[in-house]
Each structure stands twice: as structure tokens, then as C-alpha cells.
Structure 1
Amino acid sequence: MRHFDLLIIGAGSGNSVIGPEHDDWDIAIAEHGLFGGTCLNVGCIPSKMFVYAAEVAELAADSERLGVHTSFDGADWPAIRDRIFGRIDPIAAGGLDYRMGLPNVTVYTGTARFTGPRTVAVGDETITADKVVVAAGAHPAIPAIEGLESCGYHTSDTIMRLDALPERLVVLGGGYIAAELGSVVGAFGSQVTFVLRGDTFLRREDNEIRERFTTAYSRRFDVRMNTPVLAVRRDGPEVVLVVQGDQGERTELRADELLVATGRIPNGDRLDVAAGGIDTDSVGYVVTDDQLRTTAEGVWALGDVTNPVQLKHVANHEARVVRHNLSHPDDPARVDHRFIPHAVFGYPQVASVGLTERECRERSLPYRSHVQPFSSAAYGWAMEDTESAVKVIAHAETRRLLGAHIIGPQASTLIQQLIQGMHFDLTVDQMARHQYYIHPALPEVVEQ
């Protein structure tokens, strides 16, 4: 049984916990999948590289309204895929080679399972450590639908590596993963059908934003809302979904491929964390305090395995906190989860930070909100944009920002100035009047 100073389970953001201050530590890394984790290999980075190419296709197909004569003549899916993963795969391989080449780091390629306090089994080996960091991520949630497991389906882990673009794709789900990946495939020429259990996309977004987004997607795609999937089967090369219609009748949807994008589940259960004395909540997330310590002595956790806000920038922040706390137990850092922004890279984009109106009402906060369309700004005129908007929510008494929500082009960029405003505790008046806004540029929508 080999003993280490530090064991890290997961080589995504967990990999960044190691710094020069740990050069004299004996460190083990256990990773069951691709080095670099979800974001690099099957998540935010490759998906956004696909999104950018899809946006180019969308703009080419929609430029006639600006008087520009272009058209979309199809996409070379294998070329796009190979260009993207031709950049990503060497980074993952290089990261693994780098860590394996360090004299003080041992890499275990396999699933680590706790067998006792700070003790794990990886393959045929059992290892122990003085300190353990659990950064094992999450995996796709698969609904219990008759025939689904045997019919063959894709998740976000596999859909981006398809050999060929399907003529028809059915997407189960209406969250950000479904919206982004379904939009990409649709932009490249596939017929995409979304099947939603509820009556809206992006149900956690502010009502104004999700209604606009749902309207936009309902125009672009075949969207089946309030549609339970009763069974799935294969009929030759086709996947067949048996769904329940509005009147309770059974109908069939046929496609070439099926994408299941119905959420993600933390990997704590796969690690048998309970055997290590590590508590999880009712959903399965590893319980941590504000220093990211778990309920087990000498064990920290970060990222998707512990935080329901499964975002890379959150995991990176948490990795910095854990890295500090490993070396400075008498001067611990604490996580700051007050103003976590997020973006949905659909078409249109959505970005948000802070509270929604619904959350303000639930907390009985006095607030005022305002929706400003892109069309009110000169750059919005240039874009001929009549659908995009910025929504700002402020405290009615202090006039400080409580939340901001954007739908439209560059939303993920425009939101940053509002994130800063919240972080530095600015009022909406200070945001609008105590700085210059370039004219005519899109941020003027925020100023207005």
C-alpha cells in the first residue's frame, strides 16, 4: 500500500491545485477518463468551438435581411470535428504526459473508490494520503425510459464526435446543453426536434429571457413541449420515440440520432465517498464548508462533484481556494459564490448574473426592473435586431444591482460589466453615469 502527501481524484480543475509550492510533495492523481476533465474534452471548450462555426453558418443563411447576398451551402462536419479535436486532443495528451513526467507525481488511470478514510482503491492498487482533493466531476443523467438503454443514444460526451451529421436529430431536454448542441447540429443543416417535459426552455432563467428564448427556438425548430417520452426503440437505422401527445394520444417521432441532454449527476456515488466518511446531500453532491472541506478530516472537494452550479469558472475559483488552503491551513481562503454568472451559447445567446424577478419576489425584496431592447441603441439598428434585450433588476431603495439578464448577440461578453458592477457594489446610477460608454457600440444598451 503506497502512501502520498496528496491525492487528487480528477484531472480537470483538480489538476490546477498543484503548484510550485508542492514541488516537494509526493502527489498522486487518479483520473478515469480523458486528462483535462469535462470542460476540455467533452464540454465547454469543444462545444463553443462548434458554436462559433454554427454562428457563421447562421449569419450566412440570414444575411439577406441586411442586403447582403450570401447563403449557407452546407457544412463539412468531419472537417469541423477534426479541426476542433485536432487542437483539443493533443492538449489533453500533453497534460497527461507532463504530469507523468514530473518526479513527484504519480498518475493512476482508473476510477478511484474510497475504501476507508483517505484510502482509495484504483484498479488493483490501494493508496492512502495525508490529504485528499475530490474533483471527480459529474456525468450525464439518463432518464428511466423503456428501451432507452438498448436503443443507442448520444450524450454531450459523445455527440460532438459523430462520424457524420445526421439528417434528423431528436434532442431530449430543454436546458443549456440541449439548447447549445441542438442548435449547432441544426445550424449545420440537420432537422432538429426538441422534446421537452415542460413548457419552456431554460426554466431557471428569468421569465422574460426564457420566454424570448423559447419563442426564438420554437420558430427555428420543431419543439414538442409537455411531451412525455414513453418508450424508445430501434427500427433499422432509425431511432423511434413513442411520445404522448397533447390529448393523451401516442405518436411516434423518428430520427437518425438521439441526444439525451436531461442534466448531469455528481460522481460522488461512483467513488463510494461514504466509505471515506464523506457526506453527500439529498441529490448526491459532496457536502463542503466555505473552505471546501468535506465532513472527512483532511479531505476537500471542488467543482461539479460538490457544486450544483456546474461551471468551469466556478471550479477554477474553487481550485484556487483549495490550493491555498492545502498549504496555509492557519490562514484559510473561503469561496465567494455571491455573483456567479453563466451563459448559454445558443442562437440567440443568453447570459445572466444575480437574482431573477421570481427570486426577488420569493425573498420579498423591494426591486425595480427594466428591459431595454437592443433596438434602442445605434448598434442595434446596424444589426437590425428587434428581438434581443437587456434586463436589469435593482433594489428599489439602495438602487444596487440585484440581477442582470441578457438575450442576444454577444450576451456572454456584455454581461461582464454588470458582473463587475455587482462585485464592486455599484448602484445603477453609478454604472450608467460614472463611466464612458463608447458610441455607437453595443454596451450602450446596458447604459440606457
Structure 2
Amino acid sequence: MTESFDAIVVGAGQAGPSLAGRLTKAGMQVAIIERKLFGGTCVNTGCMPTKTLVASAYAAHLARRSADFGVSIESPIAIDMKRVRARADTVSTNARTNVETWLRGMDGLTVIEGHARFESPDTIRVDDRVLQAPRIFLNVGGRASIPDMPGVGTVSYLTNTSILQLDMLPRHLVVVGGSYIGLEFAQMYRRFGAQVTIVERGPRLIAREDEDVSEAIRDILAGEGIAVRTNATCIGFKPHADGVAVDVDCTSGDPFVVGSHVLLAVGRRPNTDDLDLDRAGVAVDARGTIIVDDTLATSVPGIWALGDCNGRGAFTHTAYNDYEIVAANLLDGASRRVSDRLPGYALYIDPPLGRVGMTEMEARRTGRPLLVSKRPMTRVGRAIEKDETKGFMKIVADADTKKILGAAILGTGGDEAIHGILDMMNAGADYPTLQWAVPIHPTVSELIPTVLGDLTPAA
């Protein structure tokens, strides 16, 4: 017997539950399907547990530096990895329970646990239940990508998910992948006391950022004793008596590095390969990403894709904004579009990197006349007082329109201070408007007007 609903939401990640809430409030009968853990990546294997671990690692780092602040703590600092993991587990469990409790108590919502598969464009099967609805929303998230690198099937390795289960300290963690996920785990485990090596195929870390940002981050990590091997042209794996031998380079330097543990942090892939999307006619690209238009509609009328599975953003906040776009267009008569979204994100090493808009490199490619300004964090009073002066601020603006095109704040509080610039860009204000703001002292944000005042034509 087929069960009929006004809408079906597949996946209880960041976008799905909120969308279910809006749809049910509009009087719809809705089914939400979750096959594993309520809350999705952010709650279970992403932001919440990892940033909890980052906080524990920061506490260890600060404790080791206590003498710099005139505070005496017995040395050496002891790390209780079982307690560290338990703390992260508690944060995730509480958040997951809250999401599930909210959904199960929602009027008009049927919560179904199981694996959803399409049978037709408007019909989904979950085990022995058949559900039908004129509107279907896919919020199925993503997982770690495991490329077919030489020897990868012959060794044990960790992903961003499985590493969260560690309750012991690796002797030597080799992180394969020099981008956002890999760098966060590299620094936190170094601060917990492990030897750490980062292996990156490209010529520099986080290649999508400007070169000065990449180099500054490399210096920060190297300064904490993390080995960084870029231009790793021959990455491969072999079992070793001491763990795993990771082939690094065929031409120069030590040809391999031996780690007790290996973390593969080389990208993500969408969870779309077992939904039977072909039965619904939903188009995907070569990576399995669901193809959507500017309103997040798929190739099939009545089916939308939100969050990591649609390739239009890989962050919790972009997934939530996907929900906002879909809900506004369907329920509020709006015409919101993904292309109106201002890109912003952060890298949660310490100090963090806050980013919004274009990089300087991207802005230069547009060919427009640019203004650029850059100031080191050594000029920020708040950073000096905290003795956390690594990094810099950089702002890029259009010389003709006076609009800010992008900014990077690599420094203490950079993930928060960037919002002053993000908000002004979102409002469409020109940079002199922000330049004449009067920020609070002492804060990191107070240097932003000064940086704007120093904008000069790009060389």
C-alpha cells in the first residue's frame, strides 16, 4: 500500500529538518527519511565534534604556553585522549538527540528510519514502505572520497569520520591532503602530542587561497613542529612494520614517510550512488553530484537537492541557506537564487582564517582595476594583548565602484571579525561606509577601517 504525502524530505542534515518545519507549518503532511544519524555531517562527523576537538587542542597549546602569561602549570602537560573523545562525543550526541526529538514531536511530520531509494519521479521505497509525494527534497550529504591511489587497499587508513573514534594518541599521524579538513586535524593532533606530517600533491597548501595565505599557514604549522611535504608527486601506500609507509616523492627528499596512522583528507563525494536516481531521471555529473539550477531544482520537476549533494556549497551555512532559498521560493512567493549568495567560510586552524568573496588571485583574473590593502596582526592591539600575533588582514576592492570584492583575515578572531566585512558586502555598501565606522577597542575588528584607509592600486 502506497502512503501519500504532500512532501518527502530525504536526509535529516542541516537543511532537511528546517525545511520539514516550514512545510508542516504551511499545513503539509511531510515524511522525513533518515537512514543513519540525525543531524547530518555537521552534528555527527563535521563541525561540532571537530571544533570540540580543536578547542581541546587549543587548551593544551595554551597550557604549554602558560609561562608566557605569568601562569605556572606543572610540566609536562598530560593529555587524556579518552576524555577528549568523550567530550566531542557528548557534544555530538546532545545535538543529534535534540534534532531527533524536535522532528519526532513535529505536528504533521512522519519520521522514517531506513534507506530511501527512488522507484519513480514521485515515489520512494524505504524497506517495505512505499511513499509518494509531488515534492521531494534530497538532503543526503556527502562522505570522504577515497581515490584509487597505489596501495590504498593494502593498508589501514582513517577518514574524517573514523578518526573521531580514536581514543589514543597516534605516534605519528600522516595526513594525506593539505586542505581544510586535513590541516585542522594535523594541528590538533600535533597539539595533543603526536608527530605529524602533511603530504600534499600540489605545490602549496590550500591551493584555492592566495599564495601569501598558503605560505603564512604553512609557516604557522611548521612553527609548531608539523612537517609539510608539498609537490608529493608519487603518493602511494605500503604496509610497514611500524604502521604505513607513505610514498611521497619520486625525485627529491626522503622518498617515503612512515606513520603509525594515516588520515586520508583528499576531498568529499556526495551520497548519491545508492538512491536509484536513474529511476527518477535525476541528472548527476561525473562525480555523482546532483545537477541543480539557480533555485536548487533538479532536472526533474518536483525534485530539489539541498546541501553537500548538489555541489553548490560544502558548508553547514550554505546547506541552511539552501533551505532558506527553497522555502522562500515555494512558500513565500520569493525568487531567491543561489547565485545571489556571497561566499564566506573559515579554516579552523589556530589562528583561524576567515574568508569572504574573491581572493586577490580571483579578483585579478577579472581584469578590473583593483585596490588592495594588507596589515599584519602584529599591528592589532587585541592580538598583541593575547600574544597571538600570527597572520594578517587583507582586503581587495574595485577601484571604480568602491565595492569590497573580498577579504581574508588570518589571525586570532578572524572567523568572527570577517563578518563585519561580509555584512557590508551583503548589504551592497561601498568600502568608505565601513571605513568611517567606529569599532570597539580593543577588538580585532577595529583594524578593519584602518586597512580600508590604506587601500592602494594593485601593482
Query: Normalised by the shorter chain, which TM-score bucket?
Result: over 0.9
Offset, 1:377: 2.9
Mapped pair 1:138 → 2:142: yes
Query: 1:109-258 residue pairs with structure 2 within 5 A?
Result: 109-220=113-224, 221-235=226-240, 238-247=243-252, 251-258=255-262
Distance 1:322 1:100 in 2: 23
Partner SS state of residue 356, structure 2:
strand
Cα pair distance change 1:301/1:255, threshold 3 Å? same
Alignment partner of 1:5 is 2:2: no
Q: Which amino acid aligns with 1:75?
A: I
- 347-356 or 68-77: which moved more? 68-77
CA deviation map 1:289-314 (0-9, x unaligned): 23221111111111111134201111
Q: Kindly tell me: are residues 25 and 39 of structure 1, through their superposed partners in 2, closer, same or farther at Cα, counting changes over 3 Å?
A: same
Counterpart code for 1:311? F
AA aligned to 1:118 is D
Report the alpha carbon displacement of residue 336 of structure 1 after superposing the two structures with TM.
5.5
Counterpart in the other structure of 1:404: 407
> How far has the Cα of 1:229 moved from its partner?
4.7
Task: Give the deviation of 1:25 after TM superposition.
Answer: 2.7
Deviation string 1:197-228 (CA, Å, 9 cap, x unpaired) is 01211111122211211222233301111114
Distance 2:98 2:446 in 1: 43
* Distance change >3 Å, CA 103–CA 425, structure 1 → 2: closer
**Any conservation in 2 of the 1:2–1:126 contact (CA below 8 Å)?**
yes
- Give the structure 2 partner of residue 423 of structure 1: 426
Normalised TM-score (structure 2): 0.90
Distance 1:440 1:332, change over 3 A: closer
- Aligned partner letter, 2:173: L
The CA deviation at 1:83 is: 1.8
Equivalent runs, 1:255-274 vs 2, <5 Å? 255-274=259-278
Contact 1:226 1:246 in 2 (8 A): no
Q: Evaluate the alpha carbon distance shift between residue 21 and residue 11 of structure 1 in structure 2; reply closer, same or farther with a 3 A threshold.
A: closer
Which residue of 2 is the match for residue 446 of structure 1? 448
Mapped to 1, the partners of 2:378 and 2:394 lie a distance apart of 14
- Name the structure 2 match of 1:354: 357
For 1:75, the equivalent position in structure 2 comes to 79
Residue 61 of structure 1 corresponds to which residue in structure 2?
64
* Equivalent position amino acid for 1:42 in 2: T
Deviations 1:28-51 (A, max 9, x none): 222222111000010011111111
Identical residues among aligned pairs (%)? 31
User: Matched residues in 2 for 1:386 and 1:16: separation?
Assistant: 39
Unaligned runs of 5+ in 2: 451-459
Task: Measure, in 2, the Cα distance between the counterparts of 1:94 and 1:395.
Answer: 45
Which amino acid in 2 is paired with 1:218? A
**How far off is 1:69 after superposition?**
4.4
Secondary structure at 1:47 match in 2: helix
Tell me whether 72-81 or 331-340 shows the greater mean CA deviation.
Answer: 331-340
Q: Is the 8 A contact 2:229 2:248 kept in 1?
A: no
Contact between 1:375 and 1:384, CA under 8 Å: does it hold in 2?
no
In structure 2, distance between residues paired with 1:237 and 1:3: 57
Task: Report how far residue 361 of structure 1 moved.
Answer: 1.6
Q: 8 Å contact 2:21–2:106 — kept in the other structure?
A: no
Q: How many residues align?
A: 445
**AA of the residue aligned to 1:307:** G
Q: Report whether the alignment pairs 1:85 with 2:89.
A: yes
**Distance between the aligned counterparts of 1:423 and 1:327, measured in 2?**
23
8 A contact 1:168–1:257 mirrored in 2? yes
Once the two structures are TM-superposed, the CA of residue 422 in structure 1 deviates from its matched residue by 0.7
1:200–1:63 distance in 2 versus 1, CA, 3 Å: farther
The structural deviation recorded for 1:394 is 0.9
The one-character-per-residue Cα deviations of 1:270-325 (angstroms, maximum 9, x if unpaired) are 32323312222344322222322111111111111113420111111111222233
| Deviating more after overlay: 132-141 vs 83-92 | 83-92
Judge conservation of contact 1:373–1:445 (CA < 8 Å) in 2: no
| Alpha-carbon separation, structure 1, partners of 2:48 and 2:121 | 35
TM-score computed with the length of structure 1 as normaliser: 0.92
State the Cα deviation string for residues 230-272 of structure 1 (Å, max 9, x = none): 432334562232333433x883322221111111112233323
Cα distance in 2, alignment partners of residues 327 and 283 from structure 1: 32
Determine if contact 1:74/1:189 at 8 Å carries over to the other structure: no
Q: Distance in 2 between matches of 1:131 and 1:411?
A: 40
Indicate if the aligned counterparts of 2:396 and 2:407 stay in contact, CA closer than 8 A.
yes
Q: Is the 8 A contact 1:18 1:323 kept in 2?
A: no
SS in 1 for 2:132: strand
Structure-2 change in CA distance of 1:362 and 1:58 (3 Å):
same
Task: Say which is worse superposed, 157-166 or 69-78, in terms of deviation.
Answer: 69-78
